[in-house]
Amino acid sequence: MTVEVKGTHGYAPGESTKEYVDRKLKRLDHVKDHVADLHITLDKQTSGEFNAEANIHFRWGNMGHIKVTDRDLFKALDLLFDKIETKATREKEKKQDH
């Protein structure tokens, strides 16, 4: 699984943010063989809220886009990884059913 974390619109994620994402990736260990790429984009709006978006590409060609917004960056990342885990598990189950 290839993972990319980047910021947009002038926001650059720091080392602590990247380390936090690395720790959260452990939650995806059960589906890492099914995920080809995971692209996470972080953005800070002028209102002070953070957007956390993920594009997840599965080995069999399917793709998912997930977006969450929160005032706290780490809470936004927690919500994002909750949704990524749910999406990846659901896709894995669909693939195994066929």
pLDDT 10s digits, 76-90: 999 999 999 999 999
Instruction: Using the predicted structure, report yes or no on whether residue 97 has a pLDDT greater than 70.
Output: no
Q: What region does 53 belong to: left with phi over 0, alpha with psi -120 to 50, or beta?
A: beta
3-state secondary structure (DSSP) of residue 38: strand
Mean pLDDT estimate for the chain: 92
The token duo for 97 is 């059913």
Asked if the model's pLDDT at residue 24 lies above 90, the reply is yes
Domains parsed from the chain with CATH numbers: 2-97 (3.30.160.100)
Whole-model pTM over 0.85 = yes
> Is the pLDDT assigned to residue 57 strictly greater than 70?
yes
Instruction: Judge contact between 92 and 72, C-beta under 8 A.
Output: no
* Chain mean position to CA 83: 8
64 has which bridge partners?
56
